[in-house]
Amino acid sequence: MRDRFSIAALSAGVALGLAAPAMATDLEVTHWWTSGGEAAAVAEFAKAFDATGNKWVDGAIAGGGNTARPVMVSRITGGSPMGAFQFNTGRQAEELIEAGLLRDLTDVATKEKWAEVIRPKSLLDGCTVDGKVYCVVVNIHSWQWLWLSNKAFADAGVPVPKNWDEFVAAAPALEAKGIIPLAVGGQPWQTTGAFNVLIPAIAGKDIFLKVYQDKDASVAAGPEIAKVFKAADDARRMSKGSNVQDWNQATNLVITGKAGGQIMGDWAQGEFQVAGQVAGKDYTCLPGLGVNELISTGGDSFYFPKLEDAEKSAAQEVLASTMLSPATQVAFNLKKGSVPVRGDVDLAAANDCMKKGLEILAAGNIIPDTNQLMTEDSNNQLNDLFVQFFSTPSMTPEDAQKRYAEIIANAD
């Protein structure tokens, strides 16, 4: 039996090898997609790449971006680069590009007309340095979502809120039933993320851009952001008791109805999907916290280090175009819970929440992601601030705002 299988596999491989001009080459791809939904999504990439006759060697690094990025960077600067690696769309790879360690993909990009198919256009601009394209944007992730557990609100005997204010008002009823109103994990980026979601929802898009794009410290110290800190103070009170670390553990509290809701990016949707929950029935999603319906266009990109090996370099090009092919985009993004970067694909299979996201995207209500505007250094300082704010009830919103304005003033 086993022989027959391997012969079949061999002949299939030969057939594919004939069909695709590329040689079968192993290409190691590193990423930090390890939660259930993420792993299912990345398997779609691997499947599509293997089908081209090459071999996807999975180099998953557990522990999230902050753990994985240093490992990847030290491998690239240390002279043993992988075939491709994932970073968040934005400024994280800036210096690697400047140092000439990453591969220029302009040829593939012009051949496959990325400039025409990728939307919104700002995504490709983020990959472009001095007119050359350095990365493949594979999805659009937005942070601005409030995920609510319908079961938790049914248990507490209150209707599922339609916006942030109703949610805050419903918190005492949840607490009375022993339900944590807002699940927040202990990973520092989660609290910063939640705060950055509150800004456009409470103070509006212009304030968000003034703070993060123009780095205007007077706005950051001003009355509009003070309102946001008041809301963050509410969020802090509501998140008391969520003793979990990872974001997906926090999402799991919402899935099981132990927590009322969570402010988390649309990647949380993958977890609801893996748990077999249905949007609208088991859980509710409110883009822009139900106040200001807009989404950010962050996400993930793949970068390709310069390699000596010609075969591997050829395989890199195949991988880049595979990742952007319409079929892979749909399969990957449905599993990942994100939105495809191509406007020309069919998303009939998308669920309610994803459709909401697509509508907002089509209407152009978008903001850039903080990763695209701020350096990792500034983001880390914000992480330090917000993790302290959220875990220290004695820290006043005024004190926190003062430090916030300082960080913005020093950002570049």
Partner 1 sequence: MNEGRTTPPRRVLRNLSAKIASIPMILTATVVFAGGTVWTVVHSFTNSRLLPRLNFIGLDQYERLWSTPRWLTSIENLLVYGGLSLVLQLVIGFVLAALLDQKIRFEDAFRTIFLYPFALSFVVTGLVWQWLLNPDFGVQHVVRGLGWESFTFNPLYDQSIVIYGILIAALWQGTGLVMCLMLAGLRGIDEDIWKAARVDGIPMWKTYLFIVIPMMRPVFVTTLVIIASGIVRVYDLVVAQTSGGPGQASEVPAKYVYDYMFAAQNLGQGFAASTMMLLSVAIIVVPWAYLEFGRRRS
Q: Give the binding site for partner 1 (CB under 8 A).
A: 66-67, 69-70, 73-74, 77, 92, 94-96, 99, 186, 243, 245, 375-377, 379-381, 384, 387-388, 390-392, 403, 410
State the minimum distance, in angstroms, from the CB of residue 95 to partner 1: 4
| C-beta of 179 vs 385, nearer to partner 1 | 385
| C-beta of 188 vs 357, nearer to partner 1 | 188
State the minimum distance, in angstroms, from the CB of residue 256 to partner 1: 15
**Relative orientation angle of helices 223-238 and 164-176, to the nearest 10 degrees:** 20
State the minimum distance, in angstroms, from the CB of residue 88 to partner 1: 12
d(CA 232, CA 235): 5
Determine the residue type at 344: D
Q: Are 355 and 286 in contact (CB under 8 A)?
A: no
State the minimum distance, in angstroms, from the CB of residue 272 to partner 1: 25
Measured at the CA of 273, the angle between CA 368 and CA 160, to 5 degrees, comes to: 75
State the minimum distance, in angstroms, from the CB of residue 186 to partner 1: 5
Q: Are 408 and 237 in contact (CB under 8 A)?
A: no
Q: Are 247 and 317 in contact (CB under 8 A)?
A: no
Smallest CA-to-CA distance from 226 within 92, 89, 402, 377 is with 402
Alpha helix (H) residue ranges in 100-222: 106-111, 114-117, 122-127, 150-156, 164-176, 188-198, 205-212, 217-220
| C-beta of 267 vs 390, nearer to partner 1 | 390
Measured at the CA of 249, the angle between CA 166 and CA 193, to 5 degrees, comes to: 55
| C-beta of 13 vs 186, nearer to partner 1 | 186
Smallest CA-to-CA distance from 331 within 117, 139, 44, 119 is with 44
The two most distant CA atoms of the chain are separated, in Å, by 73
| C-beta of 132 vs 403, nearer to partner 1 | 403
State the minimum distance, in angstroms, from the CB of residue 179 to partner 1: 17
State the minimum distance, in angstroms, from the CB of residue 352 to partner 1: 35
| C-beta of 91 vs 342, nearer to partner 1 | 91
| C-beta of 242 vs 321, nearer to partner 1 | 242
